[in-house]
Amino acid sequence: MKTIKSVPRRFLNAVKRSFRQFLALPLATVLGFVGLNAVVYLADRSWSGGEAPAGFRWLGDLLGDSAGLGSLLTTVASSIITVTSITFSLLLIAVQQGSAALTAQVTDQFMARRTNQLYFGYFVGLSVFVLMTLVTNTGFHRPVFGTTLALLLTTSALCLIIVMIYNTIDQMRPEQIIQFIHGRVLEARTEDLRLLGATRRACRPGWTVVASVRSRESGYVVGIDLARIAKAVERHAKGEVEIDIDIAIGSYRAVQDPVFRVRCLPGVTLGSDARRFIVDETLAALDYDDGRNLERDAAYGLYQLATIAWTSVSTSKSNPSPGISVIQALRDIISQWSDGETGTSEDAMSCIVYHDATPTVATDALEAVIVAASESMQSQTLSEAVTTLAILLRHVSQPTAERLAEVSRRALSSLGEHVLTRQLEAALADLSDALRGRNFNIVSGAVSDSTAALAASLGHLNSRSTRVPGTTS
């Protein structure tokens, strides 16, 4: 069961998430329109008593008296509200269609774009501005300036609809969606680097585990308060205790799932009160939420990319284009992160051990696309994935290269589902050379042997299941 203390914290996290993902800019824009209406109201007070401000009498004569202003504002208000409702409905339908074509990740990236948030805030704020101006239209207050500004803003809004419709349609293109997520993944990596720089990667050898702690609530871990953990350890067992965290940002934990271990210097006895305090403080330092945060969780963005690729590449959609775009995005991400695996700084004096799992998630996503391509027999997608492996193997750091070599070895199991096209044959030959260049000779030989076995099926009539016959003993 969830602890009682977590309920207000979970609610606060949900509110923060809603403002961070969408609500902050629209509401700020609406408040800006309210403030603008207040300023314009003060300016319109100069029309009280029927005396027009110097140089603006023509404007008052053009817009008419209070009755004329009221009729005009009523028409503008009803028009802008109607247009806004119809436009937003059409936009949401477009987003829904894009979501059906790819995945629900389309909705996430649509909401996260600042331009879309500004559009929603502008139209709602303009509706509020016009309504507030209409309310202030009385026998002793003529909102001439307010009406003029409302007309100008409404004209701008009608022109903005064209831009908004184009942007929405453009954002529904798979390439744009993937590129947006790709950018957010690279930005979110900075949060990983912050945690990595303040912690250690490996446990101290010989230290004994004095407590294996399990989660007391469920949800996604969206934050870790390192300072709180360090303060608790320093207070009771400075230099004698380390916290080995089993999870990474974005991990889901159910009640009683393992979250961390308390390790102690050999020969040191940790008192029950001290151990309880350290455990409780460390648990309190873990921030849970019902959803993941793309801005601080790079692994979540990788999950979104893998989901888009799997949905489009598999027979669910059988569309190779988004899958190839995902492979290209993953190639760029893995390439940029590779040097960081060996050069990431850490705090050797930290009492917290935090493992870097995100680069592994990136290579796992690439492996998942290869599996999906075998299910749908998309040779062009597999060729792009194999080419990506070959390109990366020629320059990435050794830890990344070892994972890519393992991905190459495991990918051979899916080759029997494909026809050896010219493009695929060239990609496999290139991969074999790249593996040999990094001294993965066994895997390189396996790739060459598998290519030869698949080539033996060319020119023969084979079903999918018998294209490459297995050896019999």
The answer to whether position 458 is within a domain reads: yes
For the chain, the domain total comes to 2
Regarding whether 315 and 168 lie in a shared domain, the answer is no
- H/E stretch holding 235 reads helix 226-237
Residue 251 domain-assigned (yes or no): no
318 and 462 both lie in a single domain? yes
Strands ordered across the beta sheet of 258-264:
208-214, 258-264, 241-245, 352-353
Say if 22 falls within a structural domain.
yes
Sheet of 219-224, strand order: 252-253, 219-224, 286-289
What are 290-295's contacts with CB under 8 Å, separation 24+?
A: 290/10, 290/13, 290/14, 290/219, 290/220, 291/17, 291/220, 292/220, 292/222, 292/250, 293/17, 293/20, 293/222, 293/250, 294/108, 294/112, 294/181, 294/184, 294/188, 295/20, 295/184, 295/187, 295/188
Residue 473, in any domain of the structure: no
162 vs 170: CA distance, rounded Å = 12
The secondary structure of 53-122 as a DSSP string is PTT-HHHHHHH-SHHHHHHHHHHHHHHHHHHHHHHHHHHHHHHHHHHHHS-THHHHHHHH-HHHHHHHHH
| Helix, strand, coil share of the chain (percent; to 5) | 70, 5, 25
pLDDT at 207: 93
By residue range, what is the domain housing residue 375?
Answer: 298-343+354-466
Q: Answer with the one of 172, 199, 225 that is the final residue of a domain.
A: 172
Residues 458 and 309 in one domain: yes
The CA distance from 169 to 183, in Å, is 20
Q: Which two tokens stand for residue 420?
A: 């050896």
Look at residues 172, 188, 221 and tell me which one is the last residue of a structural domain. 172
Indicate the residue among 104, 137, 172 that finishes a domain. Answer: 172
Q: Which H/E stretch holds residue 394? A: none
Whole-angstrom distance, CA of residue 97 vs CA of residue 107: 10
Based on the domain organization, do 310 and 162 belong to the same domain? no
- The pLDDT value recorded for residue 7 is 62
Asked whether residue 210 is assigned to any structural domain, the reply reads: no
Residue 248 lies in a domain: no
pLDDT in tens, the chain (473 residues): 444 445 677 777 778 878 887 889 999 999 999 999 999 988 888 776 667 676 777 777 777 777 888 888 888 888 888 888 887 787 777 777 777 666 666 777 788 888 888 988 999 999 999 999 888 888 778 888 888 899 999 999 888 888 888 888 888 888 888 998 999 999 999 888 999 999 999 999 999 999 999 999 899 998 999 999 999 999 888 889 999 999 999 999 999 999 999 999 988 888 888 899 999 999 999 999 888 888 889 999 999 999 999 888 888 788 889 899 999 999 999 999 988 776 668 888 999 999 988 999 999 999 999 999 988 889 999 999 999 999 999 999 999 999 999 999 999 988 888 888 999 999 999 999 999 999 999 999 999 999 998 888 888 877 776 677 654 43
| 448 assigned to some structural domain | yes
pLDDT in the model for residue 215: 93
pTM for the complete prediction?
0.81
Is 393 a member of any domain?
yes
